[in-house]
Every structure is written in C-alpha cells, then in structure tokens.
Amino acid sequence: MEGLPTRIQLVEVAPRDGLQVEARALDTETKLDLLTRLADAGHTVIETTSFVSPKAVPQLADAEDLLRALKRRAGVRYPVLVPNERGLERALSVGVDEIAVFASASESYSHKNLNRSRADALAGYTPVVRRAKDARLRVRGYLSMVIADPWDGPTAAATVVDCCRQLIDMGCDDLSLGDTSGVGTAAEVDTLLTALAEGGVERTRVAMHFHDTYGQALTNVLAAMRRGITTFDASTGGIGGSPFARMAGGNLATEDLLWLCRGSGIATGVDLDRIVETSHWLGEELAHELPAHTARALRDRAPER
C-alpha cells in the first residue's frame, strides 16, 4: 500500500498500561512469565510496570519485587513509569535504565489523573527528567488526551504541540501521544500530525498510542503511518485503559496490529503466533476473554492466509 513504512517498532504496554485496570491482580511470578513470553515473541521494548503509589494502582504494587526478579534479556528494553521524584527513587533503587513520565494535554484529565493542572504537572516533571538524565536513563514522555477529552471536548492541536515542546525541552528522548478516550479519527490524527510537523516536533521522536473505543485504532495507525510515524504502542489482548477515564476502551491490540502488518508487508520482528498464544494464556490468567479480534478469530477458525 502506498505511503506505508517497510518496518515499524512496537512498544508492548500490556504489563503496565494493560494490567493497571484489571480487576484481578496477577502475582509477580505470573507477570515475570508474561514478560518472558513477550520477549520470546520478539518484542524489544516492553513497558514493565509503574512506580506509582500502590494505593492508587494496587495491581502494580509489586514493582520493586518484579524488577529485582526480572532477568533482563539482551537487546530488550524494559521502561517503567514514574509519577514523581519518589517514584524515580524507587525505580533507581532496582536498577532501571529507562523511565517514562505521564502528562495530559487536557486540564480536566490532568486533575483527575494527576491531581494537578496541566502546567503544574509538566513543571513538576522537570526535576524528575533532569535527575533521570543525570543518571544516564532514557526518558519517554507520555501525553494523553491529544485528540479530545470527555470533559473538556476537543484538544487544540496547538496545546499538544506546546506540551510536546515542553517535554522535549526538559529532556525527554521521545514522546508517546495518546488518544486516551479512543474518539479520534484518521482525519483528526492527520490534522494533529500536521500541526506537530509545523511546530517543529520531529516525527522520529513521536510514537502513537491508540485506544479502540470506537473501533478506529487500526485506521488511525494507517493514517499515522502515512505521515511517517513508525513507532506504535500496543497491548497484547487489547487490555488496558485508564483507571481515571472509565469510558475509554482497551488499547490497540498487539495481535490486531501484527495482522495488519503481516497483510501489508510491514516488518515488526514480533511473532504473531506467539503473541496469540500469549493472549489466550493471559485471558485465562485474568479470567475473562480479552477484546483483541485476531486472537479470537484465530482461535475460532483456521486463518484464511
């Protein structure tokens, strides 16, 4: 298909973004098994956990234990989310080498998720990122609600550009831009990426993070690919969402993205069959069927190709 890349980078987010909203909390050994399965499938970037308060996200309360027990695979990056300097201290204590910080392009979601205004949240990350860079850590900047916010309505592209510039200026190596409520369409994605390019945000720094609330995730991926984006967050089984925006659907499913790439001749380095196996296993561990279309289709009938 014209305008598509020959290869993309996947960032697997099921172990953090996926598990954080699940009713059943997996034990540490099961999470380690999940991380091993994902690496075995060929993932080279796996978002591992979050050092947020265990009271806020009890599903990830074992972050230190998980990192201490993790046998890091050569060639695989294991970023973790940190909300503040205390979270960074906890992450550094167990030897992480890559972190992510999380901000919102909308005011309402910033208050709901971070208990701070957008400006205060961004300002608060400056010392976190500075200290992380001093420790030679790679830093990713998440920015949520980049298309629209359920409470504030459409997010101005200029606001997204400004937030991205601030994250880059404070030292973030790359950005993950999230359509957190999953309302975005291809035209809106195209408009946003045009604004980012005109605002001087290099496309090589940008990853897209789509939710499939309205069934638009893969369509939005194609729109982003045609604008030169080659890094995408995805979650095995399509699990995930936000504890603070319950109307959001699940994340773009890794296996659905892999099916698209297989049919489009786009290399990923990730094995679809192994991810489907992991998706089925994970559904059993979480005690419910996962929303990914491809895993269900390949379970219920033989593939057509």
Domain that holds residue 277: 9-298
Instruction: Tally the domains of the chain.
Output: 1
In a domain, 304, yes or no: no
Decide if 28 is inside a domain. yes
227: in domain: yes
Is residue 187 situated within a structural domain?
A: yes
Residue 48's φ and ψ, nearest 5 degrees, are -95, -45
Per-residue model confidence as pLDDT tens digits over 260-275:
999 999 999 999 999 9
If you ran DSSP here, which 8-state letter would residue 253 be given?
Answer: B
Task: Give the span between the Cα atoms of 44 and 25, in whole angstroms.
Answer: 25
Task: Say how many Å lie between the first and final Cα of the chain, rounded.
Answer: 18
State the pTM of this model: 0.95
**Which tens digit of pLDDT belongs to each residue from 130-178?**
999 999 999 999 999 999 998 999 999 999 999 999 999 999 999 999 9
Q: Read off the tokens for 147.
A: 């298309």
Q: What is the mean pLDDT of the chain?
A: 94
Q: Is residue 4 part of a domain?
A: no
Would 141 be classed as within a structural domain?
Answer: yes
Residue 281 reports pLDDT greater than 60: yes
Instruction: Name the token pair of 190.
Output: 């195209």
Residue 125: partners with Cβ closer than 8 Å, 6 or more residues away:
101, 103, 141, 167, 170
Q: What is the CATH number of the domain that holds 280?
A: 3.20.20.70
pLDDT band at 112 (very low <50, low <70, confident <90, very high): confident
Band of pLDDT at residue 245, cut at 50, 70 and 90: low
Q: Is residue 63 part of a domain?
A: yes
